[in-house]
């Protein structure tokens, strides 16, 4: 249960600490006094998002701190989130002037999502907007689901449905990619076969271009090589090699007489050997220059094939063409690969659908049980709130396909008045505001009787009702409070009078600034407050007497 709520620098509340008791507590005050601010602060500490607009003093941080008294059954949730458990646990939220928000549970920093997960099992805050949502089929479904016998069943459905959607998305993506490849398959296959037929070899372009250069200049090259060979060695006596041999012969005769001559002879002999090697290689190269026109034509055709392919694919090397060929081959093979992957995923999808069918049947069965339970339990509660002729029924029908919550559609059917045929209609078409408030309270009572958090907060759930009906609504709240802490924000004196404790929210001017405060009223203060609620600011003796009688 909620033990205390400390608020600092939040909206109109400068600083306030409210201590709560178990049982039934009412929070009263004039419109605009700040009752909704108190609920906003509590929502903030339970994980709701906020901004710097909530700061009273823009230069100081806002701190909201709630203390809860917990049972040992909460210990597992604390351990699952790696938090220290204490039967008296403190939830704190801080918002700095810069807008930075921090959340703590027992002084350990936590993510907002963690704090919100605790809020879902600690407090159920019911506001006026929640009452309006009762007409929504999605909200009606959530109410039925809160009464399921197996509360893990819906989580199992969500897990399998997420798995199913992931498979379905993967299939759609693969089919989209496969279809794109199929559209391009003919063209890609033509391009691949064209490159494959060319039988390109990495490095051949450079070699072919070198040969083409030789072919193009073979006449000039051969003429100059022939002349060079003739100069080096011919049948005449004035060839270079012959004269070099003669020089070697003469130096050899005198080399032994002088060290320098010996060295020069050795060097000249080496030059002679090198020159003979040059002559031999040049002669061999000259012999290889015997090209015919057919070779030249074939080489030119080969280079033209390479150049055409490079222009077509906007590249400059064979290596790039080979990379394109590999990519085309992969695209062609991917079509078959995608087919295999899609077949495998379709198999997974069928297995997931079978599992969803099983879970769906179980969900439908349990929802029908919950619907029957809710329908039966709400009827007497409505009767106790002066709606004796009201008929309420929960209808469950199946829809085609799967969605995030199964394939069940829930409708709340209602008829407030006795008719010959007792025809039921959709809740949103026939219910009034006051009837909607009473129905919501009845539904909340049923939920609280089966599964609920320790603290229920009703924020003006009694809107649209008055008189004897208001008193009966208060009786139901009091009944719920016998098992759970109930806090009701109300304008109705009948509700406030039947509470075990009454808190007053009021405004006052401090340092020329409006502030909201909250105080727990004594018995005498409650009489005065109830009298004001009955007669207005001018309290009459009759109102005081009436207030006293209400508190007895």
Instruction: Report pLDDT digits (tens) over 499-533.
Output: 999 999 988 887 777 788 889 999 999 999 999 98
The DSSP annotation for 203-249 comes to THHHHHHHHHHHHHTHHHHHHHHHHHHHHHS-SSTT-HHHHHHHHHH
Q: Which residues contact 330 (CB under 8 A, 6 or more apart)?
A: none
Query: Could you tell me which of 534, 456, 522 has the C-alpha nearest to residue 491?
Result: 534
CA 399 to chain centre: 27
Query: What's the pLDDT tens digit per position in 196-253?
Result: 888 888 888 888 888 887 777 777 888 888 888 888 887 666 788 888 888 888 888 8
Query: What's the pLDDT tens digit per position in 142-196?
Result: 899 989 988 789 989 999 999 999 999 999 988 888 887 777 777 777 888 888 8
Lowest-confidence range among 64-78, 190-204, 252-266, 458-472? 458-472
> Whole-angstrom distance between the N-terminal and C-terminal Cα of the chain?
27
**Cα gap 125→228, rounded to integer Å:** 107
Q: Compute the mean pLDDT over every residue in the chain, rounded to the nearest whole number.
A: 87
How much is the pLDDT for 237? 64
* The pLDDT of residue 315 is above 70: yes
pTM: 0.65
How much is the pLDDT for 207? 82
CB contact at 8 A, 352 and 164: yes
Query: What's the pLDDT tens digit per position in 332-361?
Result: 777 777 788 889 999 999 999 999 999 999
Task: Give the strand pairing for 101-105 and 62-69.
Answer: unpaired
Q: Which residues contact 38 (CB under 8 A, 6 or more apart)?
A: 5, 7, 13, 18, 27, 505, 516, 518
């Amino acid at each position: 249960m909620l033990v205390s709520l400390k608020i600092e620098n939040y909206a109109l509340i400068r600083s306030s600490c409210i201590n709560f008791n178990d049982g039934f507590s009412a929070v009263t005050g004039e419109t605009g006094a700040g009752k909704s601010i108190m609920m906003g602060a509590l929502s903030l500490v339970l994980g709701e998002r906020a901004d710097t607009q909530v700061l009273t003093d823009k230069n100081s941080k806002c701190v909201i701190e709630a203390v809860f008294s917990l049972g040992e059954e909460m210990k597992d949730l604390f351990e699952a989130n790696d938090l220290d458990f204490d039967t008296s646990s403190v939830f704190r939220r801080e918002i700095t002037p810069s807008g930075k928000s921090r959340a703590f549970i027992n002084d350990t920093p936590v993510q907002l999502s963690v704090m919100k997960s605790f809020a879902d099992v600690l407090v159920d805050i019911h506001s006026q907007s929640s009452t309006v949502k009762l007409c929504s089929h999605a909200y009606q479904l959530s109410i039925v689901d809160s009464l399921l016998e197996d509360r893990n069943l819906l989580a199992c459905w969500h897990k399998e449905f997420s798995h199913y959607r992931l498979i379905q998305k993967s299939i759609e993506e693969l089919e989209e990619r496969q279809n794109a490849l199929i559209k391009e398959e003919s063209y890609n296959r033509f391009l691949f076969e064209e490159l494959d037929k060319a039988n390109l070899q990495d490095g051949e372009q450079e070699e072919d271009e070198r040969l083409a250069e030789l072919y193009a200049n073979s006449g000039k090259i051969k003429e100059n090589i022939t002349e060079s060979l003739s100069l080096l060695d011919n049948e005449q006596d004035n060839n270079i090699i012959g004269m070099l041999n003669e020089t070697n012969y003469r130096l050899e005769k005198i080399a032994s007489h002088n060290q320098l001559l010996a060295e020069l002879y050795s060097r000249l002999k080496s030059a002679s050997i090198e020159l003979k090697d040059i002559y031999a290689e040049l002669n061999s190269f000259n012999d290889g220059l015997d090209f015919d026109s057919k070779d030249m034509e074939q080489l030119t055709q080969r280079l033209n094939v390479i150049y055409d392919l490079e222009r077509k694919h906007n590249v400059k090397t064979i290596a790039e063409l080979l990379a394109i060929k590999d990519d085309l081959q992969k695209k062609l093979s991917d079509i078959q690969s995608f087919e295999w992957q899609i077949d495998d995923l379709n198999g997974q999808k069928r297995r997931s659908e079978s599992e969803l069918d099983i879970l769906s049947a179980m969900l439908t069965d349990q929802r029908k049980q919950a619907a029957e339970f809710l329908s039966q339990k709400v009827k007497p509660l409505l009767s106790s709130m002066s709606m004796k002729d009201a008929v309420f029924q929960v209808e469950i029908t199946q829809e085609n396909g799967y969605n995030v919550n199964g394939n069940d559609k829930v409708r709340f059917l209602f008829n407030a008045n006795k008719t010959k045929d007792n025809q039921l209609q959709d809740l949103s078409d026939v219910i009034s505001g006051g009837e909607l408030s009473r129905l919501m309270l009845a539904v909340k009572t049923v939920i609280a009787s089966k599964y609920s958090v320790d603290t229920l907060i009703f924020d003006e759930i009694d809107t649209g009702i008055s008189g004897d009906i208001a008193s009966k609504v208060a009786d139901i709240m009091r009944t719920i409070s016998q098992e759970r802490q109930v806090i009701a924000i109300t304008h109705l004196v009948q509700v406030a009078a039947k509470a075990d404790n009454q808190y007053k929210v009021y405004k006052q001017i401090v340092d020329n600034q409006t502030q909201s405060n909250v105080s727990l009223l004594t018995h005498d203060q409650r009489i005065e407050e109830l009298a004001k609620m009955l007669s207005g600011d001018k309290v009459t003796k009759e109102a005081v007497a009436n207030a006293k009688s209400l508190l007895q």
